[in-house]
Structure 1
Amino acid sequence: MVQREAVFPANRHALYEAHGYSAALRSGDLLFVSGQVGSRADGTPEPDFKRQVELAFDNLRATLQAAECSLDDIVDVTTFHTDPENQFETIMAVKNQIFERAPYPNWTAIGVNWLAGFDFEIKVIARIPGHA
């Protein structure tokens, strides 16, 4: 049986304790990263939407690094958006700075009506380098 190991970034934000979840779980050679949002250190949402998306990616990057992964190890992405039609251009601008070249990860975008005060959330599955 494959064991699960919780992974947290060095400067983990307050939401993990407040809501009782792990930033990521390592299981074999896969890393399952919980939804990352554009929170400030105290867990509150960043009000500027573009900055909120950038912070969500910063939080994602920190969680990946804690598991010795990088953005290049991502194989699957799911994002959640409170207003996809009006947010798409901003999200794509940030995404294109982060994923600059192919091969791009799989990506599923889902419109939602509630994200606990946030407007963007990203969760991923990554393959951990060097594992069988």
Structure 2
Amino acid sequence: MHNKREAILPEGHHALYEAHRYSAAIRSGDLLFVSGQVGSRDDGTPEPVFEAQVRLAFTNLRGVLAAAGCTFDDVVDVTTFHTDPQSQFETVMTVRMAEIGAPPYPNWTAVGVTWLAGFDFEIKVIARIPANQSSGTL
């Protein structure tokens, strides 16, 4: 195991990574620190329908996790950001329950924010990379 920072980018990653100069995730040792994932279409623009935007954010998250050999079962910490938590909560919970699987659930912090660069939902996670996964960037 090494502790050097290693960038992880999923196949077919969206344009926001290049436009804003950041990595989808950083692997450090056996931990994966995933940047906030939004409901971005391939060109970097927001999915306009809120529920579809949340589902796409989870799809984008799964792609980043997979690029590091992880699944949502490896996630230990979740932070979500919401532009209107009160009106969005029920929709987010419906999508969340379909996505995160069985207990034990990861810890989760939800934060209300005023700006997400045109998006209404963002999710970032920390995952433990399974021991059988070799190092590598896609």
* Bin of the TM-score, shorter chain as denominator length: over 0.9
Number of residue pairs the alignment of both structures matches? 131
CA drift of 1:101 comes to 1.6
> In the TM superposition, what whole-angstrom CA distance separates every residue of 1:71-100 from its partner, at most 9, and x where no partner exists?
100000000000000000000000010123
Equivalent residue, structure 1, for 2:6: 5
CA drift of 1:129 comes to 0.2
How many Å separate the matches in 2 of 1:112 and 1:36?
15
In structure 1, the residue corresponding to 2:69 is in which secondary structure?
A: coil
Q: Is 1:39 aligned to 2:37, yes or no?
A: no
What's the Cα RMSD here? 0.9
| Runs of 5+ consecutive residues of structure 2 not aligned to the other structure | 133-138
Equivalent residue, structure 2, for 1:98: 99
| Runs of 5+ consecutive residues of structure 1 not aligned to the other structure | none
Tell me the TM-score normalised to structure 1 length.
Answer: 0.97
Equivalent residue, structure 2, for 1:74: 75
The 4+ residue runs of structure 1 with deviation greater than 2 A are none
In structure 2, the residue corresponding to 1:116 is in which secondary structure?
A: coil
Q: For structure 1, which segment, 92-101 or 115-124, has the greater mean C-alpha deviation from structure 2 after superposition?
A: 92-101
Equivalent residue, structure 1, for 2:135: none
